Structures are given as C-alpha cells and as structure tokens.
Structure 1
Amino acid sequence: MPNSIARFLMGLMGRSWVYESVEDIREVIAKNHANSQAKRARTHTEGAARLTDAPAFQPGLIDLHDELHETWSYLVGLADRATELGHETLGSTLAVAATTTRHTLGHVATAAEATVPAPESPVAKHDPDRASSGHGHQPLRAPARLAEPSRRTEPRPLQAYELASWMCPDLDCGLTAMKGTHHWDDRGPYQKLSNHSLECPNGHRWNNSTDGG
C-alpha cells in the first residue's frame, strides 16, 4: 500500500492509488478508523459537554444535516453512474448507502426541530380587586381555570431537502416523497411528537410520528 508521500505525488499527477484486493481495502479502512477514532471521539465528547440546553444543539445539527445532504447527493451520483456503467452490484450497494443516509437526514432534521422550546402555557392569576363586592368582604374563591391551550403547531410544508429524506414505504414504489407537511404535537412532559404527512409521485400517502422529546 502507498505511503502518504506516494499518494501526494500521484495526486500532483492527477492520479490516485487503486487497491487490488478486498483485504487491502479492509486494512486501510481499519487503519484509518484506528488512527482517528480516539481523537474524534474525544473532540466530540468534549464539545457535547459544553452544551447546556436544547437550543445549544441546534447549530451543530443544522450543519450536520447540510453535510449529510451533500453525502447523500454524492452517493446518489455514484450509484447512478455505477449503474450506467453496468456495475449492478456496486450500483445497488451504493443505492442502499444513499437510502440509509437519507433516513439519517430525516432523523437529524427531526432532532434539530426538537431543539425549539415548546410554548409555555399561560397561568391564571388571582385578582384581589375581584375578591370583594360593595356589600363587604366576600370569601376568596379559586380563580377560574383557563382552558388548556392547544400545543399542536400548524402544519408547515416540507422543503425539497426535507422531502429527500423520505421514501415511500410501498415496496413496489420506493419513490422519494413529492410533498408533505410537518407539525409538532406537545402532549405534556416527555410527550412531544413529531408528525409528518407525506405523499409520493405515485399518490401513495403515509404518516410518520416519532417521539421528539
């Protein structure tokens, strides 16, 4: 296998090294993992330790979603090209990787939305001026309880990059969602649901609800 200097020189010539055995590929992947895993784990663990509340997660998740979207687009391009060249096994494997990345995109988007604080319920306050009438002091009565406000957000249309994360569950279809909406349903502590309603180009419709926190 080439060392870093050899790879650098080949890069200057517009060439790259190609491994000729599965064992070599597995070895270089394992080596790259071993050389970087500890440092990456430490970097991200220390970074996460500085987060103090849910909104603090938001910038990193949005950046991560953008990076994953680029990865998904790259994999789709590779899968299409491999299929065009007649490499069916390579193309189908890359398509699976693209689909998995697309699902991850959806989960990361949902996580980013979960960083938005739920609206607080208004609290009824006691008015002492209403505790008595012109005929003298009256016993204090419990203030009227306000009706619990709806915590369901209005459905919003999903953007193209969000739709790209959803694939029709019909096994005979599998197309990417063409349109859809999303809303939050806050049912109390630890019962915040993220709800998606989707439709593919073939007219198949489906809903998805996940616990958002």
Structure 2
Amino acid sequence: MSTLYLLHKPYRMLSQFTDREGRATLADVIDVPGVYAAGRLDYDSEGLLLLSDDGALIHRIAHPRHKQPKTYWAQVEGEIDATALAALRAGVTLKDGLTLPAKARRIQTPDLAERTPPIESKRHPVTSWLELTITEGRNRQVRRMTAHVGFPTLRLVRAAIGAWRLDDLAPGQWRRQILHAPKPPAKRPGAKPRRRFPS
C-alpha cells in the first residue's frame, strides 16, 4: 500500500521544498513529511504534480521508460488552426530532435481560477486554448512545440498524468490517494509450475 498526493502547483512556484533565493516552494502549500515530487513542473507552469514517500512509486511515475502520458492545457497567442494541430499530432522537429506524435485538439477555455498575475489582454488580445497529450519529458517541451508551429504558449496547465487528473483542485490545494498493491494473478487449476532452465 502506497500513499500518493495530488497537488495543484500554483504559477511561479518551484517543484521542490527549499530554495536559497526565497522563491515559493512546495513547503508553502503542503506539509507532509518525507514526500518527494514524481517529476517536476516548471516554475512558470501550473497544474498537477504527484508526490509520494514511496521511492519505487515515484520511479514508476517519473521515469521516461514508463512513458506516462501527460496532458496539458495551453493558452496560446492567436487562434490556433488545423494546420498547427496536425503538425503537433505528426511530431515536430525541435533542436533536440523530432518529437513523438502527440494528441492535440482545440478546446474551450477550461474552468480554471484566473492566474496571478493574469495574462495581459492588451498585450495578447487574441488567444485560444488547446489540449496536448505527450509521452516524453523534454525540457519545456510543450512551450517549444507550440512556438514551433507559430503559436507561443502564454499559460500552461498540466491537467493529467496517466490516470491521475487535476479535476477540481484549486491552486495550492491537494488531496491524498491510497494505492493498493495489485493482487497477483490467480493460478489456473491444475497448472504445472514453470520449469527453470539453467542459464
């Protein structure tokens, strides 16, 4: 049995518990001893962050080998079009290589608390939202992908990691989830034990 904490990391907060420069950290919103973040979320990004005191669970969630799909809501500059969405779905070539195909679709403005500080409407009079699901974890990947297709990201919110979703958590809020170890598969009646061959 493991304990997982689902946290809505606010904008301009580090995905760690200490900072020598006095910036906001996870310690400002969650007071649970011995937990660590499974992966990270950029300082200027918001949304779902998973934490646990179970090292094996953190590894299963965060390690690139397991390719946990991550879903983001991105508010971008301009009205994103079908050509840009098709390019994101096919994969785009960044400085560190071709991205894997992503799931990409335009969405209505999600039901989120306004960011503090908010996007300046005078500087960015026309914006739109898209939902992007990727299975990689490159540095600032979503921002680089949307910029590559001509629609720079203004606000980025992670909505889901695998089956875990942000749902109605407000910025700074968290909830606990108890995970039970899966039961081993039942043995078939009369099944013979596997023979072990010498290596």
Q: Please classify the TM superposition score into its range, dividing by the shorter chain length.
A: under 0.3
Higher relative contact order (CA 8 A, sep 6+): 2
TM-score computed with the length of structure 2 as normaliser: 0.24
Bigger helix share: 1
- The structure with the largest alpha-carbon Rg is 1
